[in-house]
Structure 1
Amino acid sequence: MRPPRFWAAGADHPAARCLAPLGAAYGALTARRMDRTGARAACPILCLGNFTLGGAGKTPAALAVAALVAELGRAPAFLSRGYGGRLAGPVRVDPDRHGAAEVGDEPLLLARRAPTIVSRDRPAGAALCRSLGADAIVMDDGLQNPSLAKDLAWAVVDGGAGIGNGLPFPAGPLRAPLERQWPHVAGLILVGDGAPGEAVARMAERRGLAVHRARLDADSSELVGRRCLAFAGIGRPEKFFATLRGTGAALVGMRSFPDHHPYRAAELAALAADAERLGADLVTTEKDAVRLPADFAARVRVLRVRLVPDDPDALRRQVRHALGGAP
């Protein structure tokens, strides 16, 4: 879905006020669900989630956390619901056999780094992770899912978006009232700069929670000076466009699509025609690339990013403590 503009326009926007009673009901139900006691897994569960709907950088954060887990001598596996995929699981993701329509786009990226399980039943998925030899599980999303107890959970917050107007869906982007979500996290991973994100960080710091500021570092040397037509179907396409500009690419066109968008043949043909008309290379995100047909993907440049914490040692200490080591 595309986030409606009024989500960023303040709680007094007429649409937000009109939808506030529905949002209050939805948020209360989600909050009560979050408060349920989850099952304990056979190994530590580290969860990267969102306070809000939409993307904030969870998948790069999950990859960075899994790398730290491996550095600390553990064998990580990823656990995902597989949003947008039709397989209920539990199933191990095989990028050579599965597509985004089956397991979702994010699990295909995660599976390149470590064993990845898609399962709508999270405890069953955790059991499969353990049977594959994992001794730590990194959950990509699932903060609001109570079925598994988390040993450590972070909210990943986009610096430029924060929590929008601070109201629960559909009046705003929150999945539950923020006050009801704070008890379920041990800290924030704040991705990128911006006053909205810093406001959330200050709230976390007043509660004594860890705040890990980070940025997305792009692998972009091949794009410097090139004319690019960028397209993306992610939570905040404008964030991708800004990152691409920062690489030194000459951005001559931008096309935005809803998050997890399944690209149709006519849309791809239009992108190809626009790129030819503009004399530009097509460029997209890794998450979008796995949703493209192979023949079209071969014509598209992919901007790869990784999460770089400002203080990696602080994040490493928190991970080590969750895994049972000394802080």
Structure 2
Amino acid sequence: MNSSSKAKHQTSASDIWLSAWYGKSRWTLLLLPLNWLFILLSMIRRYCLLRWQQKTLATPLIVVGNISVGGTGKTPLLIALVKGLQAQGYNPGVVSRGYGGRAENYPYLLGADSTAAQAGDEPMSIYQQTGCAVCVGADRLAAARLLEDLGCDLLLSDDGLQHYRLGRDIEIAVVDGQRGIGNGWRLPVGPLREPVSRLASVDWVIVNSPDDNFTLPRFENMYFIPMQICAQSLVRVATGEVQALAYLDGQAVNLVAGIGNPQRFVNTLAECNIHGVLHAFPDHHAYTANDFIFNNNLPVVMTEKDAVKCQGFAQPDWYYLAINATLPDTFWPAFIQRIERIIEQKKSRFGL
């Protein structure tokens, strides 16, 4: 089975689970015994980590994560937070697991010569878009300490809500405004890593592109921050040349997405009058040129997360969609004020 066929097979398998978790299927209820086991093991793990292994650093740490499996918009949000903090004069660093990457050693600090094969696609996107220090590794505590040593005055942990060994000062949970929390069950019956009640304990719940009637079951009155994903431009993958969105207005294209929720990518492009056939791949898929053998010669439009893995063999008519996550103006003063308060508390606690 070639890489393209294997990718399609994996995508079909994941689609079965996603359609069950976020649709009306009920066959996953047969997995209730495994659900109970998952909940028990998760409780034991969390208790042990919080009781005996969690380490708090002198540098304030912000966790950006979610309680569900799959893409919710964490990376665009994290990039927006980093840029916002840089604009305020901070020197933030990002800690990431680096899923999909294989570096020579860990913790691995990204540099100008780093590739997605080494660092993973999401860390590469964060590094390229922000220029901030990004360090990856399974041991997030070691990665955070390395960034501390480099002089970062704020740390952000990408997808670290359940990594309780790493102490945190602010928790931000991201929820998909289109899919919500699915059927509301924990794994494997549903998509949740933690119960919905976990959202009540975080500092901010940010909902990605909610509609006017968005609510969370059993938490209809929960306060949340709406985030909108806005398309900015098209960027030629091979050269970095920027084109206006109107460049492909009304044209048929091949849409390529290896993300947690490919339909969101399709919808965003449709709002820009760019339509085509979706070629969905598994999240964090390692692309090869064979994956782009289609039965047509149409241009290709992909996500930036996918583009960082395709630059070495990209064709002239391949583009990625540059996006921007926007938050309400009222969020930023509260966010910065909270950080300033935490910094003062840290100075007092650690004698800085």
TM-score normalised by L of structure 2: 0.81
Contact 1:187 1:204 in 2 (8 A): no
Structure 1 portions without partners, runs of 5+: none
Residue 65 (structure 1) shift: 1.1
1:129 aligns with 2:143: no
1:258 aligns with 2:282: yes
Cα distance in structure 2, aligned partners of 1:291 and 1:306: 20
TM-score normalised by L of structure 1: 0.87
Residue 297 (structure 1) shift: 5.6
| Structure 2 match to 1:86 | 102
| Structure 2 match to 1:119 | 137
Amino acid across the alignment from 1:212: I
| Structure 2 match to 1:63 | 79
| Structure 2 match to 1:138 | 156
Cα distance in structure 2, aligned partners of 1:77 and 1:201: 35
Contact 2:60 2:169 in 1 (8 A): yes
1:193 aligns with 2:222: no
Cα distance in structure 2, aligned partners of 1:242 and 1:183: 30
Residue deviations 1:290-316 (CA, integer Å, cap 9, x gap): 12251226541110111111x233244
Residue deviations 1:131-155 (CA, integer Å, cap 9, x gap): 1110001111110011111111111
Residue deviations 1:260-293 (CA, integer Å, cap 9, x gap): 111244322x23x43x1xxx31100000111225
Residue deviations 1:223-264 (CA, integer Å, cap 9, x gap): 333332211010010100000011122x13211111111124
Residue 68 (structure 1) shift: 2.2
Residue 191 (structure 1) shift: 0.6
- 1:7/1:298 Cα in 2 relative to 1: closer, same or farther (>3 Å)? same
| Structure 2 match to 1:281 | 299
1:6 aligns with 2:24: no
Cα distance in structure 1, aligned partners of 2:208 and 2:75: 12
Residue 171 (structure 1) shift: 1.3
SS at match of 1:295: coil
1:30 aligns with 2:42: yes
Contact 1:153 1:186 in 2 (8 A): yes
Q: Tell me the matched-pair count.
A: 310
Question: Over aligned residues, Cα RMSD in angstroms?
Answer: 2.3
Amino acid across the alignment from 1:219: Q
Cα distance in structure 1, aligned partners of 2:108 and 2:94: 12
Cα distance in structure 2, aligned partners of 1:306 and 1:26: 36
| Structure 1 match to 2:347 | none
Residue 122 (structure 1) shift: 1.3
Percent identity between matched residues is: 31
Contact 1:40 1:149 in 2 (8 A): yes
How do 1:168-187 and structure 2 match up within 5 A? Answer: 168-179=186-197, 181-182=198-199, 184-187=201-204
Amino acid across the alignment from 1:6: A
Cα distance in structure 1, aligned partners of 2:316 and 2:169: 41
Residue 45 (structure 1) shift: 0.5
| Structure 2 match to 1:247 | 272
Amino acid across the alignment from 2:117: A
Contact 1:190 1:201 in 2 (8 A): no
Cα distance in structure 2, aligned partners of 1:155 and 1:149: 16
Cα distance in structure 2, aligned partners of 1:289 and 1:109: 9
Amino acid across the alignment from 1:241: V
- 1:132/1:99 Cα in 2 relative to 1: closer, same or farther (>3 Å)? same
Amino acid across the alignment from 1:253: V
Amino acid across the alignment from 2:276: V
